[in-house]
Structure 1
Amino acid sequence: MKFYLLMASLILAAGLSYGQSIKLAGIEYANYPKVAVKGSQTGQELAFREFGTYINVPIIAKKSRMIFVNGFRYFQLNTTTYNSPIYSQPEVKQTFHTIIYSLNVVKPLSPKWTMILGVLPTISSDFTKGLTSDDFLIQALALAHYKLREGFEVGGGLAYNTRFGRQILLPIIQVNYQKRLFHLNAILPTNLNAYFRTPNERLKAGLRIRTIGSFININDQIISNNTIDKLSYTRINVGPLVEWKLAGPLVMELAGGITARRKFDFSTAEKNTVSFDSESGPFLTIGLSIAPTRKKESGQGLIE
């Protein structure tokens, strides 16, 4: 679910340029039931829940044909650890927070070429001791995409983000393909959506594969005589996705399936790492968003 760093920026920008719906605001919830930790001698298990809310404000400069998208997002991760050898209690709950501001610029360079640039200042922390400099991260992206023909566009670029649990510079490839009622949207190596829609576009159903990760500062938590100061986690979600347009611009999204490679790494001030690699398990996400449609013939990307 931590999908709004790189991916949401690209999908939103793509929506603006392709004449599709734009998610202007929404809320999201995900549940990952407890599963066993691999190799645990104490019967350790992990479970977590996620909640997020966001708003995106596109501003269109008609003369330059540039689109500026200001985005704000709050994300909360709630973890529960059972029977862990590093805690004295049999059940430990923790809460982590992420606040993101994003500025994305979409600039058409020609009828076929479009450039997308984005910067995402991020605060990611447990907030137990107020803000410190370690709570701040900068994420960014640069993408160019090319329209091969109607319904088929490709792109490529670079992203600097925490998608794989640490800050890395990541090459990205974007593919958007549409033929009749079939759509394929991919931002590789992190996301792939393949779905069919009804002719009136009220219902979409298909498959989603998504890599999710984050990097969170912890304010010197003492665990088993170790000073923990960072948490990184990653996972891969695979399963069906359904979007249903309820009424007007209100859209409900349901996704579920199997989550694999559920890995949590706690880093200590001494530069050691305590890792927990969980078994695969089910997940369920639900979201509500406001996504007004756009006029395809407007030429300016104006929202109806």
Structure 2
Amino acid sequence: MSDAKIQLRAVSISVALPLVFSEGRTVLTNQIYYRRRDFSYKGFPGSNPSINDIHDLNYTFTLQHGLSEKWALLAIITPGLASDFEATLSADDFNFQVVTAFIRQFSPQFSFGFGAVYSTQFGQPIPLPVLAINMNNGENLRWDTILPVRSEFWYTPTPKLDG
């Protein structure tokens, strides 16, 4: 079993529609996201594990609202489906996640916040605290994270590609 290996290939696509209200103080974003993950197994004794591919389909509604010059509210609601479609869909194939966070803008390059997440994505309903951090160097690097929900690192090689 020490030579057992699992390889994962993933392809994803998403489409988002942001809507701006209240002179930019409120942004509502609707997003649809699809990801297919293919697994291949090598070196497992006997038969390979039974999961070969998983399809994820999620809808995400995001609300960002400026409460003051320094503080903002972030709310995210994500119902979704994750299944290999090998068997009949059951309640275990559906998941739901809600995130709320209050975020303080310390400078144009740094914001920090705190909040909570309620998620069924790990099989059981779990409430957890979250930390929201957004850092950038003012040019081409950006780190946007809501731990433990997501973390994104962005690099833009030229300003022509940004926005």
Which residues of 2 match residues 1-304 of structure 1 at below 5 A?
40=1, 43-62=3-22, 65-87=25-47, 94-161=52-119, 165=122, 167=124, 168-181=126-139, 183=141, 185-187=143-145, 188=147, 191=151, 193=153, 204=155, 243-244=156-157, 293=163
1:109, CA displacement in angstroms? 0.8
TM-score, structure 2 as length reference: 0.78
1:192, CA displacement in angstroms? 6.8
TM-score, structure 1 as length reference: 0.45
Bigger Rg, structure 1 or 2: 1
Match of 1:134, SS state, is helix
CA contact (8 A) 2:92 2:123 kept: no
Structure 2: gaps of 5 or more residues: none
What one-letter code is carried by the residue in structure 1 that aligns with 2:133?
V
CA contact (8 A) 1:55 1:71 kept: yes
Counterpart for residue 280 of structure 1: none
Measured in 2, the distance between the counterparts of 1:182 and 1:71 equals 25
Relative CO higher for 1 or 2, CA cutoff 8 Å, sep ≥ 6?
Answer: 1
Measured in 2, the distance between the counterparts of 1:126 and 1:157 equals 32
CA-based RMSD: 3.2
CA contact (8 A) 1:82 1:92 kept: no
Measured in 2, the distance between the counterparts of 1:192 and 1:74 equals 17
Measured in 2, the distance between the counterparts of 1:161 and 1:245 equals 37
Query: What is the identity percentage for the equivalent residue pairs of Structure 1 and Structure 2?
Result: 21
1:148, CA displacement in angstroms? 2.1
1:130, CA displacement in angstroms? 3.8
CA contact (8 A) 1:156 1:171 kept: yes
1:144, CA displacement in angstroms? 1.0
Measured in 2, the distance between the counterparts of 1:183 and 1:96 equals 32
Cα displacement string for residues 8-46 of structure 1 (whole angstroms, at most 9, x for unaligned residues) = xxxxxxxxxxxxxxxxxxxxxxxxxxxxxxxx16x4221
Count matched residues: 160
CA contact (8 A) 2:112 2:133 kept: yes
What one-letter code is carried by the residue in structure 1 that aligns with 2:35?
F
